[in-house]
Structures are given as C-alpha cells and as structure tokens.
Amino acid sequence: MQNFKPTKEMIDAAETLFVTMAHCQIIEPIVRGYETKILEDMQPHMAKKWIDHGCKDEIITNPEHSYLLEDDAFAEYDRRCKVERDKAGLYVANDDHCPLLVAKNMKTDAENILLEAMQPLTKISATDACMDIKTRDRLVDICLKMLAPFVSDSDTVLKRFAA
C-alpha cells in the first residue's frame, strides 16, 4: 500500500474514531469505579427470577451483571449511579443514560463510519452480516493503522472537536 492516498472522509473518520476511543478510555475507569463501589456498598443479591431459572444466588458486584438485580435494587443502584455521575461532572444528554454506554455507542458509530469510508478499498461494509466481532475489531485496527500516518496531531484534532 505504498501508494495509498486516503480521502478526506477516511482521515476524518479515523480522527473521529481516535477521539471517541480516547473518550472511552477516560470515562470507563470513572464510571466503573463508582458503579463497583455502589454495588460493593449495596451487596445486592441476584433477582429471584434468575434463581428460579437455575442460576446460583450470589451477590452482584460486577457492574456488567447489574441486569441481574431485582427491580427495586436496580432502581436504587441506578439512582446512586446518577448521583455519582453528576458529582464526577459527566454530562449526558438524557438523564437516564449511562455516560460509559453513551461513549461506547459513539465509538461504535465512529467505527461504522470508518468502515464505510474505507469500504471502497476493503470491499467490506460495516453492516456485512458475515463479519463477527473479532474480525470487525481486526478490520477497524487495520484501517486505523493504515490511516494513522495521515491524521493530524492530537492537539489539532482535539481543538477541532472542541470547537
């Protein structure tokens, strides 16, 4: 690919993805930190409906398993997460949204835009039904490595996104 000349659309897509990746890396430890602390403080048990379906009763300490909580325990967890989110100064457009999930969604959207921009070269669409997650992640990584030499420096990119 010595003669590879990316389009502006390709470069913009890569820069956008780099920004959303950085955003996720900044947000994740903050959100996971308060979510974990809240669950450790609450010591909530798994919802009865899951136990009735054969799951072993356990205390939920992993934020990724919060869907296993009883409705009232989840409501308390969610309320406390929103308080901590606000204390941390994490903005979300919708009060019911988690800033980490919003950031991850933005990253996925940026990956899709990158894959679509690169589709004339790769011949693979972001919506290719044959592509599993591992293959998709590898393709995104390859595209970013191809485009990295062409993206602007981080200060320039961040100034553009801040504007």
CA 60/CA 34 separation, integer angstroms: 14
pLDDT value at residue 131: 82
The 10s digit of each residue's pLDDT in 106-116 is 999 999 999 99
**Residue ranges of the domains in the chain?**
16-158
The mean per-residue pLDDT over the stretch 35-48 comes to 97
The 10s digit of each residue's pLDDT in 1-19 is 568 899 999 999 999 999 9
158 or 71, higher pLDDT: 71
- pLDDT bucket at 119, cuts 50 / 70 / 90: very high
- pLDDT bucket at 157, cuts 50 / 70 / 90: confident
Question: What secondary structure does DSSP assign to 104-115, as a single string?
Answer: HHHHHHHHHHHH
Mean pLDDT of the chain: 93
CA 78/CA 83 separation, integer angstroms: 9
Query: In this structure, are residues 73 and 42 in contact, taking their beta carbons and an 8 Å threshold?
Result: yes
Residue in this structure with the two tokens 């659309």, named with its chain if needed: 9
